[in-house]
């Protein structure tokens, strides 16, 4: 059930990260693929990443992404997206597994660099190091590394195997997905599942089972998908994060989609894949 964002064959070339000269030579090598990245956008066309070499800004930072089937991939950061840049949320499902792995890594690294420009210890501006996999503080000598925040997302079913869908208050009308939330310090992902479900929809769950994972660089999450059986069916939304929720059966779901009263999460997300696994097949938007 894993989405393409989790399946790519990317050799991350970790042993090359400390070799700045090799990275610079590789960036100038015509055989190297230059990935254009700006925020959550990548340079792409019709479901394919495009080499951004001819569009490079002078001050582009270079991030060593890795190698795919012998081709080195280096991301170049753009201060603002140019024509031809597309959101990874929009095109991720159309990319091949390998290109999705490259794009996901590039976006995740770039997002981290954009928001971690200064040392959290002394406030000094940090500098890029280790091919983009580290930032170094020239004042106190400390090193800082890209963060990844674990988050859980859960397929909640009842005794009749109905699925609970929920809508966040900030989402567009009719947009529903699965209950999700971040893992807090000191708890396991399974404990986070039970806590988030209780907090957001007032349900206690029984056994929690792992389904799969997906990097989700918006900006820095690792989504861990689980399934859990609710001990009861009467839910109560918290009214803060979750505005409404509903139980749906497999027979009801297609008609809700066809009537436009229910919109599903995007195809690029593990939420969509987990939902479709419960349903038993792919669903039309």
pLDDT digits (tens, 9 = 90+) for 205-257: 999 999 999 999 988 999 999 999 999 999 999 999 999 999 999 999 999 99
pLDDT score for 8: 80
CA angle 6, 38, 141 (to 5 degrees): 85
Q: What percent of the chain has pLDDT over 90?
A: 90
Architecture (CATH level 2) of domain 149-279: Alpha-Beta Complex (3.90)
pLDDT score for 54: 92
Residue pLDDT, tens place only, 15-49: 999 999 999 999 999 999 999 999 999 999 988 99
Q: Within 13 Å of residue 8, how many CA atoms lie on the same side as its CB?
A: 25
Supply the DSSP symbol for 93.
G
Residue pLDDT, tens place only, 110-128: 999 999 999 999 999 999 9
Residue 191 has pLDDT above 80, yes or no: yes
| Least confident span in 19-23, 53-57, 174-178, 189-193 | 53-57
pLDDT score for 279: 97
pLDDT score for 2: 66
- Distance from chain centroid for Cα 38: 16
- Fold equal for 4-115 and 149-279: yes
pLDDT score for 4: 63
Whole-angstrom distance between the N-terminal and C-terminal Cα of the chain? 18
**What CA–CA distance (Å, rounded) separates 211 from 226?**
5
CB 108 within 8 A of CB 100: no
Question: What mean pLDDT, rounded, does the chain reach?
Answer: 95
pLDDT score for 284: 85
CB 148 within 8 A of CB 222: yes
- The CATH number of the domain covering residues in 4-115: 3.90.79.20
Q: State whether residue 281 is helix, strand or coil.
A: coil
Determine whether 43 is exposed, middle or buried from the number of CB atoms within 10 Å of its CB (0-12, 13-18, 19+).
buried
CB 87 within 8 A of CB 44: no
Taking the CA atoms of residue 172, residue 173, residue 174 and residue 178 in that order, the dihedral angle to the nearest 10 degrees is 50
pLDDT score for 285: 77
**What CA–CA distance (Å, rounded) separates 138 from 47?**
41
Q: What percent of the chain has pLDDT over 70?
A: 98
pLDDT score for 81: 87
Q: Report residue 1's pLDDT band, with 50, 70 and 90 as the boundaries.
A: low
User: In the chain, where are the structural domains located?
Assistant: 4-115, 149-279
Number of Cβ within a 10 Å radius of residue 264: 21
Q: State whether residue 182 is helix, strand or coil.
A: strand
């Amino acid at each position: 059930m894993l989405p393409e964002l989790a399946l790519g064959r990317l050799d991350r070339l970790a042993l090359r990260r400390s070799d700045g000269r090799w990275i610079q030579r590789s960036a100038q090598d015509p055989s190297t693929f230059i990935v254009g990245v700006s925020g959550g956008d990548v340079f792409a066309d019709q479901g394919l990443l495009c080499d951004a070499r001819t569009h490079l800004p002078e001050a582009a930072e270079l991030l060593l992404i890795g190698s795919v089937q012998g081709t080195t991939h280096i991301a170049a950061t753009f201060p603002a997206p140019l024509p031809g840049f597309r959101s990874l949320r929009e095109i991720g499902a159309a990319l091949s597994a390998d290109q999705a792995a490259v794009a996901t890594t590039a976006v995740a690294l770039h997002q981290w660099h954009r928001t971690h420009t200064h040392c959290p210890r002394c406030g000094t501006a940090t500098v890029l190091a280790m091919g983009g996999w580290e930032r170094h503080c020239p004042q106190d000598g400390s090193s800082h590394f890209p963060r990844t925040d674990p988050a859980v997302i859960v397929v909640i079913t009842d005794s009749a195997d109905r699925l609970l869908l929920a809508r966040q208050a900030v989402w567009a009308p009719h947009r529903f997905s699965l209950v999700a939330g971040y893992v807090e310090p000191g708890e396991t992902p399974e404990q986070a599942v039970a806590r988030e479900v209780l907090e957001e929809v007032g349900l206690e769950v029984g056994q929690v089972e792992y389904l799969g994972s997906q990097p989700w660089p918006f900006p820095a999450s690792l989504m861990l998908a689980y399934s859990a059986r609710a001990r009861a069916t009467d839910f109560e939304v918290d009214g803060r994060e979750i505005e409404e929720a509903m139980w749906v059966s497999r027979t009801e779901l297609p008609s809700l989609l066809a009537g436009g009263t229910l919109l599903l999460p995007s195809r690029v997300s593990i939420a969509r894949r987990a939902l479709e696994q419960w349903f038993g097949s792919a669903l039309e938007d």
